[in-house]
C-alpha cells in the first residue's frame, strides 16, 4: 500500500469530486464538508462511470408509518448509466448491501489530500 | 412416489354452491340480505358479477358448471366423501381447501352480501370438511369489501385446528391488496400466525384488474391471462409498497399460476428496485430476498413443455425450489396429478428439494400434522 497525493484541499470544493487515475485505476475523491472519500469510478452493475453521476442524499422510511423523509447528507452517488446508488463512505449499494464498490482510505496532511492504495 | 413421506396439495377445492352454505349464514346478523340472496335464481350473475366472454370450459365436463367440476370425476356419497376419495385416488395425504364459487368473491358488489357469504362459507367448510377429517384443512375466506369483517373471521376461526391460512384472493379486487385498506386483515393474520394466500381466478377477471370485460373473445383467453397477471401485479405492489416490512411476521402464498412466471418476475423486480429504489425506501434489501424468506408459490398448473421435462426442473430451480409447494387443484379440469410435477423434478433436483416441493414445505408453511 502506498500513499498517493491527489490534490490540495482547496482544489476540491464542498460537494464536489475530483476524478483521476491513481496507480493505474480511476478513482473519484469526493469532498463533503471537511471529509474526503475515495471511490473507484466503476459501477459493479455494467461497468459504468459511477462517480460521474450526481451526489445527493437519500429517501428514508421508518416504522411504524413508513412516511418518506429525505436524509440530505450528500453521501449517495448515482451511476449515470442505470441509476444504481452507492454510499461513498462505505461503498455499499443503498438498495442492498450485498453490492458494493471499492473505497479507499484518505488522509489529509498539510492541506494535501492523499489516497491510500 | 413411494420414497416420499408425505404429499400435500397446497391448493384443493370444494365444489360449493350458495345453497350449500346458505343455511350457515347468521340469521340474526344478516337476515335482511339473506332474504335477497335466497331470491336469486342465478347467484353467479346476480350476487356475484361473473361475465366471461364465453361459457367457461364449453364442450368439456366442466361446461358452465359454476360450482366447479361436479362432472369431472366420480362422485362419492357426499362432498366430504368425494373430496377424500379424490385425494386417495392420487395418493395425496393432505389437502388444503379453497373454494370454487367463492374465488369470485371480489366481484360481489354489495358489501353486506359479501360479508354474509363469507360468514356462511367459512362455517360450512369448517363443519363439513375440516371438523370431519384430519386430512383436510381450510383457508379462511375474507371479504375485501369489508376488511373488518375479514379480521373478525380470522379471530373467530384462526385458532381452531385445521384452519391454516387466510384466503385474500388475487383477482378482481377494486382496492389493491397492498393498500392500507387491507391492514386489518393483515394485522389479524399476523396475530393469528396464519399465512395469507392469494388465489387467482378467471371468474373475477371480468370485474377489475387484470382485465375487465371488454376485448377478450374467448374464455380460454381469460384462463391464460387471469392467473399470472394477477400475481405479477399483486406481488409488485406488495413488495414495492413495503407490505412485508409493515407486517414483518407475515408469510405470503400465491396460488394457481404455475411456476414459469416466477423467475422472470423475480429478475424484473430486482432490476427495477436497484434502478428506482428511491421510490421504495421502506425496503432494506432486494425484493427477491423477501421472496426467498417469506413468499411461497403453489405449482399447478406447471405448464406444458412438449415432453421437455427438464424445462420444468429448470423453472423450479430458477423460481426457488424451497419456496414451491405442489398443488393438485382437484377437481378442476386443469388439475395436476402429483406425477406432473414429481416426474420432471425427481432426478433433476436434490432429494430434499423434491420432498419439500411435494409436501414437506407445505407441512411447515401451513403448520400441518
| pLDDT at B306 > cutoff 80 | yes
Cis geometry, peptide bond prior to residue B123 (ω within 30 degrees of 0) = no
Q: What is the DSSP letter of A92?
A: B
3-class secondary structure, A77? strand
Say what the ipTM of the complex is: 0.92
A94 and B CB contact within 8 Å: yes
Q: B99-108 pLDDT, tens per residue?
A: 999 999 999 9
Q: With the C-alpha atoms ordered B285, B287, B289, B295, is the resulting torsion angle positive or negative? A: positive
A24 shares contact with chain B (CB less than 8 Å): no
pLDDT digits (tens, 9 = 90+) for A67-100: 999 999 999 999 999 999 999 999 999 999 999 9
Residues of A in contact with B278 (CB under 8 A): 58-59, 85
pLDDT category of residue A107 using cuts at 50, 70 and 90: very high
Average pLDDT score over chain B = 94
Chain A positions touching B242 (Cβ under 8 A) are: 61, 66
Q: Name B330's bridge partners.
A: none
d(CA B261, CA B2): 30
The predicted model gives B317-322 an average pLDDT of 98
Q: Do B274 and A93 touch (CB under 8 A)?
A: yes
Give the model's pLDDT for residue B64. 64
Higher-pLDDT residue of A6, B1: A6
Q: What is the pLDDT of residues B85-100, one digit of tens each?
A: 999 999 999 999 999 9
Query: For residue A60, what are the contacts with CB-CB under 8 A and spacing of at least 6?
Result: A68, A69, A70, A71, B281
Q: How confident is the model at residue B65 (pLDDT cuts 50, 70, 90)?
A: low
Q: Is the pLDDT of residue B69 over 60?
A: no
C-beta neighbour count of A24 within 10 angstroms = 6
- pLDDT bin (cut points 50, 70, 90) of residue B359 is very high
Distance from CA of B267 to the nearest CA of A (A): 14
Cβ–Cβ under 8 Å, residues A56 and A47: no
Res. B310 pLDDT band, cuts 50 70 90:
very high
Q: How confident is the model at residue B233 (pLDDT cuts 50, 70, 90)?
A: very high
Burial class (CB in 10 A: 0-12, 13-18, 19+), B258: buried
CA dist B163 and B96 (Å) reads 9
Residue B215: the pLDDT is: 80
Cross-chain residue pair B275–A84, CB shorter than 8 Å: yes
> How far apart are the CA of A48 and the nearest CA of chain B, in angstroms?
13
Calculate what percentage of chain B has a pLDDT beyond 70: 97
A68, A83, A98: residue with CB nearest B281: A68
Q: Is the peptide bond before B301 cis (omega within 30 degrees of 0)?
A: yes
Mean pLDDT lowest for which of B56-65, B132-141, B147-156? B56-65
pLDDT at B33 over 60: yes
Which pLDDT tens digit goes with each residue over B8-29?
A: 999 999 989 999 999 999 999 9
Using the predicted structure, report yes or no on whether residue B122 has a pLDDT greater than 90.
yes
Q: How far apart are CA B106 and CA B40, in angstroms?
A: 18
Share above pLDDT 90 across residues of chain B, in percent, rounded to a whole number: 85
pLDDT tier at B75, thresholds 50, 70, 90: confident
Q: What are the Cα distances from residue B214, in Å, to B174, B187, B190, B227? A: 17, 36, 38, 18
Bridge partners (DSSP) of residue A27 are A20, A40
Q: Among residues of chain A, what percentage have pLDDT more than 70?
A: 100
How far apart are alpha carbons B359 and B369 in whole angstroms? 11
What number is the average pLDDT over the span B74-91?
A: 90
Shortest Cα–Cα distance, B232 to chain A (Å): 21
The C-alpha of B284 sits at a distance from chain A's nearest C-alpha, in angstroms, of 6
What's this model's pTM, rounded to 2 decimal places? 0.95
Q: What does the pLDDT look like over B258-280, one tens digit per residue? A: 999 999 999 999 999 999 999 99
| Residue pLDDT, tens place only, B149-204 | 999 999 999 999 999 999 999 999 999 999 999 999 999 999 999 999 999 998 88
CB contact under 8 A, B277 and A94: yes
Three-class DSSP category at B289: helix
Q: Which residues pair with B298 in a beta bridge?
A: B325
**Hey, what's the cell of B107?**
366481484
pLDDT for the residue B1: 78
CB–CB of B277 and A45 under 8 A?
no
Amino acid at each position: 500500500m502506498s500513499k498517493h497525493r491527489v490534490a490540495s484541499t482547496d482544489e476540491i470544493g464542498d460537494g464536489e469530486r475530483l476524478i483521476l487515475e491513481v496507480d493505474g485505476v480511476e478513482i473519484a475523491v469526493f469532498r463533503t464538508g471537511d471529509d474526503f472519500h475515495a471511490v473507484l469510478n466503476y459501477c459493479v452493475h455494467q461497468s459504468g462511470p459511477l462517480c460521474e453521476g450526481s451526489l445527493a442524499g437519500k429517501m428514508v422510511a421508518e416504522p411504524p408509518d413508513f412516511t418518506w423523509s429525505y436524509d440530505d447528507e450528500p453521501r449517495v452517488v448515482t451511476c449515470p448509466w442505470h441509476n444504481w446508488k452507492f454510499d461513498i463512505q462505505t461503498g455499499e449499494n443503498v438498495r442492498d448491501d450485498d453490492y458494493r464498490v471499492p473505497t479507499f482510505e484518505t488522509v489529509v496532511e498539510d492541506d494535501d489530500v492523499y489516497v491510500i492504495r | 412416489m413411494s420414497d416420499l413421506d408425505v404429499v400435500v396439495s397446497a391448493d384443493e377445492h370444494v365444489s360449493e354452491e350458495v345453497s350449500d352454505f346458505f343455511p350457515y349464514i347468521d340469521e340474526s346478523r344478516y337476515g335482511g340480505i339473506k332474504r335477497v340472496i335466497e331470491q336469486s335464481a342465478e347467484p353467479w350473475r346476480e350476487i356475484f358479477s361473473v361475465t366471461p366472454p364465453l361459457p367457461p370450459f364449453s364442450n368439456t365436463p366442466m361446461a358452465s358448471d359454476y360450482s366447479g367440476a361436479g362432472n369431472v370425476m366420480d362422485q362419492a356419497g357426499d362432498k366430504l366423501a368425494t373430496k377424500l376419495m379424490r385425494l386417495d385416488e392420487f395418493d395425496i395425504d393432505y389437502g388444503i381447501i379453497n373454494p370454487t364459487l367463492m374465488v369470485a368473491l371480489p366481484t360481489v358488489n354489495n358489501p353486506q352480501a359479501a360479508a354474509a357469504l363469507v360468514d356462511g362459507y367459512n362455517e360450512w367448510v369448517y363443519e363439513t370438511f375440516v371438523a370431519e377429517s384430519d386430512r383436510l384443512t381450510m383457508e379462511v375466506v375474507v371479504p375485501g369489501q369489508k376488511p373488518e369483517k375479514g379480521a373478525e373471521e380470522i379471530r373467530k376461526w384462526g385458532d381452531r385446528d385445521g384452519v391454516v391460512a387466510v384466503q385474500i384472493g388475487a383477482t378482481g379486487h377494486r382496492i389493491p391488496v397492498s393498500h392500507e385498506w387491507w391492514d386489518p386483515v393483515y394485522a389479524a393474520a399476523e396475530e393469528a400466525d396464519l399465512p395469507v394466500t392469494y388465489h387467482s381466478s378467471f371468474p373475477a377477471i371480468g370485474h377489475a384488474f387484470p382485465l375487465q370485460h371488454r376485448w377478450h373473445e374467448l374464455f380460454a383467453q381469460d384462463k391464460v391471462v387471469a392467473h399470472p397477471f394477477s400475481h405479477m401485479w399483486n406481488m409488485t405492489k406488495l413488495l414495492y409498497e413495503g407490505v412485508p416490512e409493515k407486517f414483518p411476521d407475515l408469510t405470503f402464498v400465491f396460488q394457481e399460476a404455475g411456476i414459469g412466471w416466477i423467475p422472470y418476475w423475480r429478475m424484473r423486480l430486482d432490476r427495477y428496485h436497484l434502478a428506482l429504489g428511491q421510490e421504495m425506501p421502506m425496503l432494506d434489501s432486494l425484493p427477491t430476498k423477501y421472496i426467498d424468506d417469506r413468499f411461497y408459490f403453489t405449482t399447478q398448473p406447471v405448464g406444458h413443455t412438449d415432453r421437455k421435462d427438464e424445462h420444468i426442473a429448470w423453472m423450479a430451480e430458477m423460481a426457488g425450489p424451497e419456496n414451491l409447494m405442489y398443488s393438485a387443484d382437484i377437481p378442476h379440469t386443469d388439475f395436476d396429478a402429483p406425477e406432473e410435477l414429481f416426474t420432471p423434478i425427481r432426478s433433476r433436483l436434490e432429494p430434499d428439494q423434491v420432498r419439500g416441493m411435494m409436501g414437506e414445505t407445505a407441512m411447515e408453511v401451513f403448520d400441518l400434522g
